Amino acid sequence: VTVPFFPPDLFEADRQHLLDLVREVGLDPAQRFILGARTAEFERLLGQSLGGREVVACGSGTSALTLVLHAMGVAAGDEVVVPAFGCAPLAASVVNLGATPVFADIDPDTLTVAPDEVERAITPRTRVLMPAHIFSIMADVPRLRRIADEHGVRLLEDSAVAQGAVLDGVPAGCWGDAGVFSFVQVKSFGMPGEGGAVVTRDPALAARVRMLRNHGQDGRHRFLHHHIGYNSRFDELLAAFQIHRLPTLPQRLERRAAIAEAYTARFRGLPGVQPPPPGRNGRCHYVYSLLVERRDALRDHLAERGIGSHAYYPRPLPAQPAFAPFAAPDGRWPNAERACTRSLAIPIHPNLTDEQVHRVADAVVEFASANAPARSGRLAEPVPVPGG
């Protein structure tokens, strides 16, 4: 593979620095490896970069969702409205608290949850709306914010993939009562390990999350456990690495955005291949996702040319065996089902060279031009979703 989808060399420029940090932390006289001064500093700096939010670093983006839902009081008998299309934690974080995920279908073009569907899914048992930014596009959080306020429920923004994105001047993660970030290596602010963060302007919520991430302790009285909590903490080594890389995050985000713009400029108007909408407002560049009528054929076409791609989410969340028992029997998620057969992510990581970007774009254009005209006016048969 000459253009890998998952880049193996994300931190190559910082390898020596990483080694130095491992040594520094290992030998540090403080001998404090978890939730220490570096983590506190990382939280402070990240909060500052978001215009003064509270940031609570924790074990992963998935765990961040769990901590917030738990801190919001979600429990057995409660409902949380989640997208029918997305990553497993959207449903699992709800199920694991004993609550019920209510699946709302997505918008066919943005692939993010459809606000009308969310509003229809609200019942007296609804406690939280949990939209997710997906791939390249932020959810319609302005409308979802209004819906949440009108119905008196809370808004938890799954912004795990969208760190650095901005919609109408407000950063991803800052639209909800809380947002979350994930720093797993492939994310926009990825790092060499697992970690995540909760972002909020609500100090009470932040305080509750802080306790829940470390066994229900208050940070002052060791081994006094106010609440049943989790072990979802942040390692000092990774905090040090993130502090080092925070100043260069804008450059990497800019590189991703520039690659996305280059792709979108080449792909607009291509038959059978739909790129994300142009522009930067509300765009995120975790992965660059196309909607393709003959998705698997494009994947093969790229693979033959040494270009990696990835089809996320082969089936809607309510069609996953773990979550099917929670899906309304008469529930329909046609747009989620179509997304599962059409969406394909192509490489966008910041280490790509211009030459690689052009090669990927050429291959997609070649595919569309060679295949689609012969089939114009006729859509490919939808591929049935296994078990769907």
Partner 1 sequence: MATPVDALSPPANREIPFFSQARTFADIWPEVAAHVHDVADRGKFSHGHKVAEFEQALARYTGARHAVAVNSGTDALVLLLRAAGLRPGQRVVVPAFSFVASASSVVLAGGRVVFADVEPDGYGIDPAEVARVARAGDFVMPVHLFCRLADLDGVLEVARERRLTVVEDSAEAIGLRHRGVHAGLHGAGGVLSFFPSKTLGALGDAGAVLTDDPDIAETVAALRHHGRFGRTLAHFPGIANPTAVSGVNSKMDDLQAAVLLAKLTRLDTDIARRAELAAAYGERLRDVPGVLRLPATGPAERVFYVYLVEVDCRDALVAHLAAHGVGTETYYPIPLPRQPCFADLGHVPGDFPVAEAVCRRSLALPLYPDLSVGEVDRVCGLIRAFFTGSSS
Residue type, 119: E
In order of 41, 62, 88, 129, 329, the CA distances from 96 in angstroms are 31, 12, 12, 17, 21
Residues 159 and 173 sit within 8 Å (Cβ to Cβ): yes
In order of 56, 151, 207, 212, the CA distances from 219 in angstroms are 13, 35, 10, 11
Q: How far is the CB of 291 from partner 1 (least distance, A)?
A: 18
Q: How far is the CB of 49 from partner 1 (least distance, A)?
A: 23
Residue type, 73: G
* Largest CA-CA distance found in the chain, in angstroms, rounded: 71
Residues 61 and 181 sit within 8 Å (Cβ to Cβ): yes
Q: How far is the CB of 196 from partner 1 (least distance, A)?
A: 9
Q: How far is the CB of 377 from partner 1 (least distance, A)?
A: 32
In the bound state with partner 1, the residue whose beta carbon lies nearer, of 66 and 335, is 66
Q: How many whole angstroms separate alpha carbon 15 and alpha carbon 25?
A: 15
Residue type, 205: L
Strand duo 343-346 + 288-292: pairing: antiparallel
Q: How far is the CB of 64 from partner 1 (least distance, A)?
A: 10
Exposed, middle or buried: residue 328 (CB in 10 Å: 0-12, 13-18, 19+)? exposed
Residues 132 and 83 sit within 8 Å (Cβ to Cβ): yes
Q: How many CB atoms lie within 10 A of CB 210?
A: 22
**Helix intervals (H) in the chain:** 15-27, 37-49, 61-71, 89-95, 115-121, 141-151, 203-213, 236-245, 249-267, 295-304, 334-342, 354-371
In the bound state with partner 1, the residue whose beta carbon lies nearer, of 233 and 266, is 233
Q: How many CB atoms lie within 10 A of CB 14?
A: 17
Q: How far is the CB of 88 from partner 1 (least distance, A)?
A: 4
Q: How far is the CB of 268 from partner 1 (least distance, A)?
A: 28
In the bound state with partner 1, the residue whose beta carbon lies nearer, of 34 and 370, is 34
In the bound state with partner 1, the residue whose beta carbon lies nearer, of 7 and 171, is 7
Angle between helices 236-245 and 15-27 (to 10 degrees): 140
Q: Could you list the residues that contact partner 1 (CB under 8 A)?
A: 6-12, 15, 18-19, 22-23, 25-29, 31, 33-34, 59-63, 66, 87-89, 91-92, 95-96, 98, 184-185, 191-194, 215-216, 222-231, 233, 235-238, 310-315, 320-323, 387
Which of 200, 371, 161 has its CA nearest to residue 284? Answer: 161
Residue type, 17: H
Half-sphere exposure of 355 (CA within 13 A, CB side): 1
Q: How far is the CB of 290 from partner 1 (least distance, A)?
A: 17
- Quick check: helix, strand or coil at residue 274? strand
In the bound state with partner 1, the residue whose beta carbon lies nearer, of 14 and 261, is 14
In the bound state with partner 1, the residue whose beta carbon lies nearer, of 40 and 184, is 184
Q: How far is the CB of 160 from partner 1 (least distance, A)?
A: 10
DSSP 275: P
In the bound state with partner 1, the residue whose beta carbon lies nearer, of 216 and 271, is 216
In the bound state with partner 1, the residue whose beta carbon lies nearer, of 297 and 385, is 385
In the bound state with partner 1, the residue whose beta carbon lies nearer, of 21 and 368, is 21
In the bound state with partner 1, the residue whose beta carbon lies nearer, of 202 and 218, is 218
Q: How far is the CB of 317 from partner 1 (least distance, A)?
A: 8
